[in-house]
Amino acid sequence: MAPIGLRPRELLALQHLRERGPSAQQMLVESLGIDATNLVGVLNSLEDADLIRRRRDRADRRRAIIELSTKGDQVLAKLDRALREIDDEMLATLTTLQREALSGLLAQAVENIHAACVQPSDEGC
C-alpha cells in the first residue's frame, strides 16, 4: 500500500465501496468499525486524492452518500495487480491445487478470527 500512498483505513474504506457500492457515511462507520470522527478524516483524505465522491442523499439531505470514483477503482485495480504479482512470486513453487488449498485454509482462519471478534470476549481480538 505504501507505494500507492494509502493507509490501511483508507484501503479498507475503498474496498468496502468497491464490494458493496455507494454507502451512507453512517453505514461506513458501522460496517468498518471506525469512529465517526476518524472516518471523516479518512474520507477527507480519499476525497482530496479524488478516490471517492461525496454527495447528499436526495431522499434525506442530511445524509452523505460515499461512492468510489473512477480513479479510486483504478487505484484498487493497480493494487490488485501488484498483490497478484507478489503472490505469484512467493507461491511460485506451489501447484494450482496447493495454492487453492492454502487460500481456502487462510480464508477459514480469517473467518474464525472474525467470528471470535464479533462475539464479546474478555480476551479481545
Tell me the mean pLDDT in the region 34-52: 93
User: What are 41's three cell numbers?
Assistant: 478524516
Q: Is residue 3 in some structural domain?
A: no
pLDDT of residue 1: 54
**Domain identity same for 70 and 109:** no
Q: The domain spanning residue 68 has which CATH number?
A: 1.10.10.10
Tell me the mean pLDDT in the region 58-73: 89
Q: Is residue 1 in some structural domain?
A: no
Q: Give the model confidence (pLDDT) of 102-114 as tens digits.
A: 999 999 998 888 6
**Domain identity same for 85 and 119:** no
Sorted by sequence, the CB contacts under 8 Å of residue 113 that are 6+ apart come out as 125
CA angle 26, 18, 54 (to 5 degrees): 45
**Domain identity same for 31 and 64:** yes
Distance CA 46, CA 28 (A): 14
**Domain identity same for 70 and 98:** no
**Domain identity same for 18 and 50:** yes
**Domain identity same for 73 and 98:** no
Its domain, for residue 121, covers 93-125
Radius of gyration of the chain (CA): 17
Give me the number of domains the chain comprises.
Answer: 2
pLDDT of residue 111: 87
pLDDT of residue 59: 79
The pTM of this model reads 0.75
**Domain identity same for 19 and 79:** yes
Which phi and psi (to 5°) does residue 121 adopt? -150, 145
**Domain identity same for 53 and 111:** no
Tell me the mean pLDDT in the region 72-95: 93
